[in-house]
Each structure stands twice: as structure tokens, then as C-alpha cells.
Amino acid sequence: MNITQILFWFLSVVAIFSALMVITSKNPVYSVLWLIATFFAISGHYILLNAQFLAIVNIIVYAGAIMVLFLFVIMLMNLNKETEPQKNRWLKMAGAVAGGCLLLVLVAALKDTDIKQQQALVNEGNIGLIKNLGKELFTKYVVPFEISSILFLSAMVGAVVIGKKE
Amino acid sequence: MPINYYIFLALALFSIGIVGVLTRRNAIIIFMCIELMLNAVNLLLVAFSKMHYLKNAAADAMTTAGTDGQLFVFFIMVVAAAEVSVGLAIIVMMYRNIHSVDINFLNRLKH
């Protein structure tokens, strides 16, 4: 078992454990912090796959911007106490069973596919570097890139319009 | 690293996100679980991109196969950021109107 495999299993365990803590924490602030831990673990996976640009973007955009927005909203609403009302225990159990059944069905469907002889290249390969991605982004994908800037503009206008007082 | 490890890891994260959406009633936590599901899909896209690259790199060492998958991940992140800003604005407006973020108060689509 070499260092790459050890890192893979470690990051997987961290990701799944912190994802479970996201949905079981009572306090929303703790949920946000565990979600940040999940994003860091997923960024570790990206680094392991040598997708360095996406690893950095994941940390900057998700852990840096989006999660700060979540924390800001939670603290703005003063939700940082355990305000979640007691709910029907059976409903909670039914949700867990439904999710577990989905996982079971998907794993059973995918465990014997012939894709499983394939390997994902770890630690090498230069398609994830910013040189290659930037060249592709500004030649082949330049129209979607510009359209996404319009999407950002409209989202910004929409957020301001929705969020302002009557 | 075999590709099915990544498939099962992404499936586990996605299912945890679905369980969170189904069991929690705080709208912000439901929103965070949606982000978790998006990230599971992103991880799987990157893993498949590297798988595709490895398959093509045997024939041609200078190939750029698999770049598309990583750019899709980039665009998913862009759309997720826009979605979060609008969604949190809606949640703030909802909190201002009904002083709660419990989704059970929202099942009537009126107030």
C-alpha cells in the first residue's frame, strides 16, 4: 500500500465522515464548518488526481466564498442556536431508508459493470494544469464562458432585487 | 487508482446529500446538502476525465482528452455560485416575511 492509496483512503474517510456530520449536526454553524471540511477533503482528491486548477478553485470558490455567504446568512438570522423543531421520528427514518435504498440500488447496478477494469490516472498527467485548461477555455469554450458571465450578472441583479426591502 | 472506488465514493456522498435533503427541515441545511451533491458529481467528473485521459494517453502522449470533463466541473462551480447567491436571497426574504426557515411553514405557497 503506497502513499497514494493511503492518502486516497484517508481523504475518503474524512469526506464521508464530515458529510455525515453535516446532516447530523443540530447547530447550523457546525454544519457549515463540517461542509468546509468536506470541501477540503474533495480538494485533496483533486490534487491527488493532479487537477490542480480545480483544487484551488474549489477551495477559493466553495470554501472561501459560498460557505462564507452561508455563515453570513446564518449569523444574520441569528440561527446559531438549536432552533430546529422536533420533527416526526418516522419521517426522519423514512428519509434515511429512502437514501440508503438509493445507495444500495446504485451500488448494485454499478458494481459489475465492465468499466471497473479502468483506472483513473493519479499523480501525473498534465490536463488538469492551468495552461491546458486555460487554452481550452479561451478557444473552444469561449462562448459558454461569456454566457456564464451574463449568468453571474443576472444572478447579482436577481439577488439584489429579491433581497431589498419593499 | 481503480475508477470504481471513485464511483462508490461519489455515490456515498451523493446519497448522504439526499438523506440530508429528505430528513432536515432547516432550509439552509437543505441548501448545503444540495451543494454536497453537486460536489459529489464534480468529483466523479474529474475522476472520469482522468480515466479518459489515461485511455487516450497510451496512443498519443500529447493528448488533451479529458479536458472537457474538467471544464464542465468549472462551469458547474460557476452555476452553483450563481444559484447560491439567488437562493440565499430567497431564504433571507422568506425569513423576513415569516420569521422562520422551517420548510414546513412553506408548504402552502402563500402566507
Q: How far apart are CA B32 and CA B24, in angstroms?
A: 11
Q: Which of A35, A127, A158 sits opposite B53 (nearest CB)?
A: A127
Partners of B79 on chain A (C-beta within 8 Å) are 148, 151
Lowest mean pLDDT among A1-5, A78-82, A106-110: A78-82
B67's CB contacts (< 8 A; 6+ apart) are A127, A132, A133, A136, B49
pLDDT band at B101 (very low <50, low <70, confident <90, very high): confident
Judge whether residue B66 has pLDDT over 60.
yes
The whole-chain average pLDDT of chain B stands at 86
What pLDDT shows up at residue B110? 59
Summarised one tens digit per residue, pLDDT across range A37-95 is: 999 999 999 999 888 899 999 999 888 888 888 888 888 887 655 555 556 788 888 88
Q: What are the residue ranges spanned by the domains of chain B? A: 3-106
Summarised one tens digit per residue, pLDDT across range B20-58 is: 999 888 888 898 999 999 999 999 999 999 888 888 887
The larger pLDDT score, comparing residue B99 to residue B80, is at: B80
What's this model's pTM, rounded to 2 decimal places?
Answer: 0.89
Determine, for residues B3 and A120 on separate chains, whether the beta-carbon distance falls below 8 Å. Answer: yes
Lowest mean pLDDT among A8-12, A57-61, A109-113: A109-113
Q: Which of A92, A119, A148 sits opposite B51 (nearest CB)?
A: A119
What is the domain class of A3-82+89-128 according to CATH? mainly alpha
Maximum Cα–Cα distance across chain A: 61
Best mutation target, B5, B9, B72, to test chain A (most A CBs within 10 A):
B9
Partners of A40 on chain B (C-beta within 8 Å) are none
Q: What are the residue ranges spanned by the domains of chain A? A: 3-82+89-128, 129-166
Lowest mean pLDDT among A94-108, B48-62, B65-79: B48-62
CATH T-level fold of B3-106: Helix Hairpins (1.10.287)
Distance to chain B for A133, nearest Cα, Å? 7
B76 reaches A (C-beta below 8 A): no
Q: Which of A57, A61, A69 sits opposite B88 (nearest CB)?
A: A69
Partners of A84 on chain B (C-beta within 8 Å) are 24-26, 102
The whole-chain average pLDDT of chain A stands at 86
Interface predicted TM-score (ipTM) of this complex, two decimals: 0.90
